[in-house]
Amino acid sequence: SFGSGGDFSPDSIYGLTTSGPNRTIGETISLRNDFTKIHGTHAFKAGYEVLRLRLNSWSMNYPSGAFRFDGMTAGLQPDGNTRPRTGNTFAGFLLGWVRQAQFDRELASWLPRSFIHSFYFQDDWKLSAALTLNLGVRYTNESPFHTKYNQVSNFDPASADDVSPGSRGSVAHPTGGLNRRDNNNFQPRIGLAWHPLAKWVFRGGFAVNTVDVKFPQSRGQFEEYAAVNNQQRPPGDPRPLYPISRGPDPVVFNIRPNGTSGFLGSNFSARGSQWWDPNLRNPYVLNWNLSTQYEINPNYLVELMYQGSAGVALVERWEVNTFPIDYAANNPVLRAAVYRTPQEYRPFPHFGSIAFRSNMGHSTYHSGTIKLEKRYSRGLTLLTFYTFSKTIDSQDTDNSGSGLAPIQNRGLEKGRAGYDRNHRSVTSLTYELPVGRGKRFLNRGGIWHRIFGGYEIAWIQTLESGNPLTFGFANSPYNYYPTWAGSRRPSLTSKPGLRDNWRDFGGDRFNQNNINPIIDITHFAYPAEFTPGSSGRNIVTGTPLIWSQCSAQKNIPISERFNFQVRWDYNNVLKTWNFNPPTTTVDFLNPRTFGKVSGNPLTASFGGIPMMHLTLQLTW
């Protein structure tokens, strides 16, 4: 197989790899018991739960090796560095010049285990006919990260390294958990409901909830339990390794007596490690809300609500084996040397990536909602709401941690979350036709009701603004440090956004290169040499979502115990086309590729193309 996941094209071909078989089996065993006692104006509840999580993973990875051909046809600058905008990876493949070949062998299965114990106690206390108070506390205790046979790995910055003698920092294999047990996971909460007037209800609440860490990364903390043989030139040597027709060098592995294997190769940029903070603790989320409900009449209810939350000490992982993006800015000679062999200037030059996982993240969420509800009357139910919200974070997942210089400063990456949708409106309408037994028309039983009664129709209309977009760039004529020193984002020349009438793709809408872009590339520019771009993270709101659904169902009573239902659902009734995110890589050598919509959500996805379902259901 070719490529790194992109289309089959000269610019996307990266290597020649064949993955071996793999198997992953997850299992969760749970036991829970709850207790309730009502005493006077109190309703006491208590409960206990234990979760046992087990994951068994085995993978052969690349039994025949992974061969890479990038950079083999690139030109060189006078100082020996590769020249930007030169070279073609596919040409390197056709010539057969190998830049890197990597082989591995699985030495053990990844078998992480976790125990999570939790219990809670709460009291619903009716202080008066108009005021109810809810008080509660929950406690959770999670076992530190470990595996079944204590086969775990962790980077140790202070220990001696047997792979690179004389170097400090190595992959350690502790026999216990990677972090201390967090015993401070008390989660209090308080809520109240106040009904001072006949048509008014006020509610509010505050809660603290801890987040389970479990196994945040597939096959994480498992280095050296897969033996690695990396065949590659030393850093700074741009020559090919060998022609693929000659075949690889002898594949041997360095197996230790304890069943682990040290990295084998002359280029340590391919030697990665994970660093689990020994002081890592469970993150927690603060939630609070205020709302008021007003009954317009017995059938209509309007509600105003504010909801907020904050994620504190969220788990992220970021690159620590790096130097600042402006390193040697005032020394052109040193900067050229660093650019040529950046590996040698890392804090731990005998390692490539070292991803440090710790409690570095923070997020906030604020929203306001207005909701109107028409309760069931005369066969009609209506629920409609509009929410305006904003979510800000520094990264979106437990395994994120990239950004601009300095990469260690997570605050520089604080911005809109990748899943932030500022506007959301949903309206659902359900109507039971007034025909059949107990209805206005044909109020009869028997065959009349079976044929003409029991019909319901429904409509759901969804309107949402799009997820935000982050931009990158390619084919710049300037030199930059590697991406592990800082994400490459373009500079801004003006404020970008979707163009007016962006749904007009032009006449040739079946050829992606010929359709109109929905974002103008002239909003961007290449950053200056060895500098980060001025565009931030998630700066443009993407394409919105407009989705309509309808359904109709017929309930046919067969007997007192049996009922038969026929249901028809139609997704995206109005055939409104929604779109996947556009291309966001600024490439002035290939400007026709930028800002182009490449596809639409799949049929089964939210907002996907039209699709009908017919369901037949028998209940008793």
CA diameter of the chain = 94
CA distance 55 to 72: 41
Average model confidence (pLDDT) across the chain? 91
118-136 pLDDT, tens per residue?
999 999 999 999 999 999 9
Band (14; pLDDT cuts 50, 70, 90): low
230-270 pLDDT, tens per residue?
999 998 888 999 999 998 999 999 999 999 999 999 899 99
Residue 5 has pLDDT above 70, yes or no: no
CA distance 581 to 595: 9
Say what the pLDDT of residue 560 is: 81
| Mean pLDDT value across residues 577-589 | 93
Better pLDDT: 12 or 318: 318
Say what the pLDDT of residue 146 is: 94
CA distance 457 to 304: 28
Say what the pLDDT of residue 406 is: 61
Cβ contacts of 238 within 8 Å, gap of 6 or more: 71, 74, 76, 80, 82
| Mean pLDDT value across residues 471-485 | 93
Residue 403 has pLDDT above 80, yes or no: no
Say what the pLDDT of residue 61 is: 84
The string of DSSP letters for 547-606 reads EEEEEEEEEEE-SSS-EEEEEEEEESTT-----PPPP-EE-TTSGGGTT-------TTST
CA distance 322 to 416: 26
Better pLDDT: 341 or 602: 341
Residue 155 has pLDDT above 60, yes or no: yes
| Residue 257: cis peptide before it, omega within 30 degrees of 0 | no
CA distance 134 to 94: 70
Residue 12 has pLDDT above 50, yes or no: no
pTM, rounded to two decimals? 0.88
Query: Which residues are bridge partners to 293 per DSSP?
Result: 201, 303
Say what the pLDDT of residue 405 is: 58
| Mean pLDDT value across residues 517-530 | 96
37-96 pLDDT, tens per residue?
999 999 999 999 999 999 999 998 887 889 999 989 999 888 777 888 888 889 999 999
| Six-digit token string for 207 | 């809660």
40 secondary structure, DSSP code = T
Say what the pLDDT of residue 326 is: 87
418-434 pLDDT, tens per residue?
999 999 999 999 999 98
CA distance 359 to 355: 13
Residue 487 has pLDDT above 60, yes or no: yes
Residue 605 has pLDDT above 80, yes or no: no
Amino acid at 567: R
82 secondary structure, DSSP code = B
93-118 pLDDT, tens per residue?
999 999 999 999 999 999 999 999 99
339-391 pLDDT, tens per residue?
999 999 999 999 999 999 999 999 999 999 999 999 877 789 999 999 999 99
426-458 pLDDT, tens per residue?
999 999 998 888 888 888 888 887 788 889 999
CA distance 146 to 243: 43
CA 71 to chain CA centroid, Å, is 31
Say what the pLDDT of residue 407 is: 67
Better pLDDT: 412 or 355: 355
Say what the pLDDT of residue 6 is: 31
Band (16; pLDDT cuts 50, 70, 90): confident
Q: Is residue 477 packed enough to be buried (19+ CB in 10 Å), middle (13-18) or exposed (0-12)?
A: exposed
Say what the pLDDT of residue 8 is: 31
CA distance 293 to 301: 7
Say what the pLDDT of residue 556 is: 86
| Mean pLDDT value across residues 156-185 | 94
Say what the pLDDT of residue 576 is: 87
| Mean pLDDT value across residues 166-183 | 94
Band (604; pLDDT cuts 50, 70, 90): low
